[in-house]
Amino acid sequence: MPELWYLNGSYVSKEEAKVSVLDRGFLFGDGLYEVVRVYDNEPFCLKEHLDRFFFGVKGIGLPLPYTREEFEGIIRKVIADSNLGWASVYWEVTRGTYDPRTHYITPSMTKPNVFIQTKAVGPQPEERRQNGVGVYLYPDVRWLKCCYKTVNLLPNCMASTYAHDRGGFEAVMYRDQDHVTEGASSSFFIVKNGEVWTHPEGDLILSGITRGEVKKLCEKNGIPFKEKIFGVRDALEADEAFTSGTVVEVNPVVRIDDHTVGSGKPGPVTKKIVDLYLKHTGQR
């Protein structure tokens, strides 16, 4: 059951998985990526991840020498060959390696670098679900096309580092005091009077796959769900809050900066959503 490294059509060792310093992903962040959770060797929501990936492919004009069906076949084969059971699969496609280095993109840039990696990932810590996590607020200084899952992640890394250095689980970003967007590597939700609120889809957030599954679970189980813009004060005064992400799944938030959220413990709506999600992924 090996963790596999796939690069441009071949399995390679970790040490052999290299691209040129002229790769446009390395030089410009000119590329896209996805991370898919795998349960019992079956990729969870692969269709939705592929939908988002190919939305980005079209959006930034990324060359890809495969049809969607062919690319999905490659991903599924890597997962099957790895045979890790519970895992994550990461793929990244950059525009490729070209000399000379130019800012502009030319029609001749047609040979992308395609990298896929599998990694063993077990169940998430139950302690997080039982006790909740703390997050820290951080200004959202990203560009205006966050809907594309590009490898341009420096602002996210800065936000995440800020939270991590203070003992936080995640950073929650805001454009201004009246506009909270999302987590540095997650979607962010608050609960007000039994209603779940999260930022509307659009250019300013990534359309989170787990976010979409949470929305469907709420709608299916009678939990009011609203996509609306809310502010920092709304978050601080929320009854409950939680984050969602592909690998980390759904996590109650009990503290924002030094402010206690609600009772300081995971609330009933969040706990219900966590339970529904664990059942949805076959963990309960």
Beta-bridged to residue 187, according to DSSP, are: 244
- Alpha-carbon distance of 217 to 226, in angstroms, equals 13
Q: Where are the alpha helices (DSSP H) in 153-267?
A: 154-165, 209-220, 232-236
DSSP 3-state of 28: helix
Beta-bridged to residue 90, according to DSSP, are: 35, 117
Vertex 126: Cα angle to 249 and 234 (nearest 5) = 55
- Alpha-carbon distance of 71 to 57, in angstroms, equals 12
* Active-site pick, 14, 145, 149, 192: 149
Q: What is the dihedral of CA 90, 196, 278, 49, to 10 degrees?
A: -20
**Active-site residue flag, 192:** no
Cite the active site residues.
Answer: 149
